[in-house]
Amino acid sequence: MTPTDTHCPYCALQCGMRLHPAAAPRDPGAPPVEVGERPDFPVNHGALCGKGRTAAAVLSRAARLTAPLVRDRAGGSLREASWDEALDRVADGLRRTAARHGAAAAGVFGGGGLTNEKAYLLGKFARVVLRTPNIDYNGRFCMSSAAAAHRAAFGLDRGLPFPLEDVAGTGCVLLAGANPAETMPPALRYFTRLRENGGRLIVVDPRRTRTAAQADLHLRPLPGTDLALARGLLHLMITEGYLDEEFIAARTTGFAGARAAAMAHWPERVEQITGVPVTQLHAAARLFGAAATGMVLTARGSEQHSKGTDTVRAWIDLCLATGKAGRPGSGYGCLTGQGNGQGGREHGQKADQLPGYRSLTDPAARAHVAGVWGVDPATLPGPGLSAYEMLDTAGTPGGVRALLVMGSNPVVSAPRAAHVTRRLRALDFLAVGDVVLSETAELADVVLPAAQWAEETGTTTNLEGRVILRQAAVEPPPGVRTDLQVLAGLAARLGTTDGFPTAPEAVFDELRRASAGGPADYAGIDYARIRAEAGVFWPCPGPDHPGTPRLFLDRFATPDGRARFSTAGHRPEAEPPDARHPLHLTTGRVTAQYQSGAQTRRVTELNAAAPGPFVELHPHLAERLGITEGEVVAVTSRRGRALAPARITTTIRPDTVFMPFHWAGDGRANTLTNPALDPVSKMPEFKVCAVRVEKLPGGGAP
């Protein structure tokens, strides 16, 4: 085997890596490849975090599924089965449910780690084979608020409208609710270079993270108050003379409404709401307003709220008002989380979208995609339930009664997770496709073992909108199939024998046709071009088009070419603290684990670095509660209780506690989180809920 250039399976950087044959002799169960650097890829230039360096470990047979599993009766154990038996059971479960309760009773739940080819074919399977409106994916829990804000303000959603390299050359970055030092470490070099080049970094985060420690200015708002903070900074841009009146007049609309909202957020009021001192508000306004160029970058800390869309729009307004958008070296961007969080929402596995980021309610879009699929547009179902809505009503009258889950672990990752677990148990039928026996797969009637990133070729789209190619380096083990093969097998059993190719390049060629002319136009991109150019930026409408690394330089993607300001003001979180639950809980990630931990928790090196859950408390809070370092404590919300060792640190606010969300069991943070939804994006309020922290009886034994 010769070395294979490919990409990391984890975060949205999609770092380039080179896979080499594993050195012999080796244990027969050891990974067949070793991860090496790929210095020529422009995003990471060879740098990898610990997750990337150890990514091959999950290819080991000991860490993964290698045969289909079926459950013979309710409450019985899973046993190994043949592929024919497993696929027959899945097809029969979906068919029987639709016959008994209607097509909408069969649902599909996808994942932001699936390749573009898989996401595309999964959406086609739901709408053409199952004829169900109910398909959504876990990216609804990641990027949906930023995506909705992007579309409302600019007419188009791409995480970063410029290459990541532009960050190092801007004058000031305001980084809100993001901790790239831990969530995507190779990206930190761009912020380091920013400061080396004389640029300034402002970090907005309730915690003093490793990223915040490198900032010129760290603002520590109370969780759930970023909207007030953004409006307060716009107030100061107006009163201190930092507006770009020419840009506002020439390239935007609606500033009067944004001005009115900002003027209701004077500094003293914002300090009262957020806890950020007035002096720091003025300092941030000066740093950002006086810079010739600047960017606002957000991540989940600002977005995962029941007002996440309005919050992101308020941050965008800050860029528009100061002329720091639609120009070289400036703009608003979102640091996408999941590996294919961008591409995963572009090509049809989202409840309201068709491939190419087309709207499911647009007659022209329906006609175009139906033409590619060879079906009558009238047969395509309309929009269905969003991710949490589908999980919340699973197994109930009017909800989905059978569910196919591919590449997602909602038992750990969904808000109000204990309730979601109960709803999944109530389904008439549950099938899960995954590379490992996740906590969700453990509940399934049928488990389908999927090939992994190094065993199949396919495209993803990174946080910059760069379409890249993961290339297969090895064959999957016997007994493992690709998701494309699974979908083709299910479609055939359900009566659709054409239109579900198993070759990734054939699927991508169809995706290109389906996306042609849409907002996310991939028509001019093919595998050969991606290999030759280290990725191609969409939109790319034809083979002679260079791709679009930088959006909006001439006009925004709205009908009149102007960006839209917004008008929302501060409103409280969905669940303010009270006497019984007096603290705020916020959640997030740690460096050595990823998302629900389904894969990284199977890697010895990563578990040694981050072996389990914890709860961060400020020393003042710990002293008041009589809690000592390492003592197991109970964190309780209105939805349940989680147990974790205390980690006492001054990096957290005294009125706030923090838990990472990578673990299942007693330490599952999402047992606590609030499913209150943003009315536009349907994003749950992961980032703030009311809790109490208590010592356990008996000195901390769980």
Per-residue pLDDT tens digits for 517-568: 999 999 999 999 999 999 999 999 999 999 999 999 999 999 999 999 999 9
Which range is least confidently modeled, 290-299, 342-351, 366-375?
342-351
CATH top-level class for 144-334? alpha beta
Within 548-641, residue ranges assigned H as helices are 604-609, 619-625
Question: Per-residue pLDDT averaged across 678-701, rounded?
Answer: 90
233, 177, 147, 453: CA torsion to nearest 10: 160
Q: Which H or E element spans position 43? A: none
What are 117's two structure tokens?
């080819």
> Taking 70 as the threshold, does the pLDDT of residue 695 lie above it?
yes
Fold adopted by 583-700: Barwin-like endoglucanases (2.40.40)
Question: Per-residue pLDDT averaged across 398-404, rounded?
Answer: 97
Instruction: Please give the distance of CA 695 from its chain centroid, rounded to a whole number.
Output: 34
In tens, the pLDDT along 201-250 reads 999 999 999 999 999 999 999 999 999 999 999 999 999 999 999 999 99
Name which residue leads in pLDDT, 200 or 28: 200
Where residue 116 falls among pLDDT bands split at 50, 70, 90?
Answer: very high
Q: Which H or E element spans position 243? A: none
**Exposure b/e, 428-443, CB count within 10 A at least 16 = b:** bbbbbbbbbbbbbbeb
Question: Per-residue pLDDT averaged across 454-463, rounded?
Answer: 97
Instruction: Please give the distance of CA 556 from its chain centroid, rounded to a whole number.
Output: 25
The residues near 331 (Cβ < 8 Å, ≥ 6 apart) are 161, 162, 295, 319, 324, 325, 552
> Taking 90 as the threshold, does the pLDDT of residue 585 lie above it?
yes
In tens, the pLDDT along 21-35 reads 988 656 767 889 999
Residue type, 684: P
> Taking 70 as the threshold, does the pLDDT of residue 699 lie above it?
no
The residues near 619 (Cβ < 8 Å, ≥ 6 apart) are 648, 649, 650
Residue 269's alpha-carbon distances to 87, 232, 262, 620, in angstroms, are 60, 8, 11, 26
Per-residue model confidence (pLDDT) at position 495: 97
Strand partners, 172: 200
Q: CB–CB of 457/463 below 8 Å?
A: no
Per-residue model confidence (pLDDT) at position 29: 73
> Taking 90 as the threshold, does the pLDDT of residue 701 lie above it?
no
In this prediction, what percent of the chain has a pLDDT beyond 90? Answer: 96
Question: Per-residue pLDDT averaged across 40-46, rounded?
Answer: 96
Max intra-chain CA distance, the chain:
71
Q: Which CATH architecture has domain 69-137+349-454+474-501?
A: 3-Layer(aba) Sandwich (3.40)
Mean of the per-residue pLDDT values of the chain: 96
Question: Per-residue pLDDT averaged across 677-698, rounded?
Answer: 95
In tens, the pLDDT along 120-146 reads 999 999 999 999 999 999 999 998 999
> Taking 60 as the threshold, does the pLDDT of residue 700 lie above it?
no
Question: Per-residue pLDDT averaged across 643-671, rounded?
Answer: 98
> Taking 70 as the threshold, does the pLDDT of residue 611 lie above it?
yes
The residues near 376 (Cβ < 8 Å, ≥ 6 apart) are 370
Judged by DSSP in three states, 674 sits in strand
Per-residue model confidence (pLDDT) at position 337: 87
Domain ranges for the chain, please list them. 4-63, 69-137+349-454+474-501, 144-334, 583-700
In tens, the pLDDT along 248-284 reads 999 999 999 999 999 999 999 999 999 999 999 999 9
In tens, the pLDDT along 294-340 reads 999 999 999 999 999 999 999 999 999 999 999 999 999 999 989 99
Per-residue model confidence (pLDDT) at position 25: 55
Q: Are strands 583-588 and 689-695 parallel, antiparallel or unpaired?
A: antiparallel
Question: How far apart, in whole angstroms, are the C-alpha atoms of residue 212 and residue 204?
Answer: 8
Which CATH number describes the domain made up of 4-63? 2.20.25
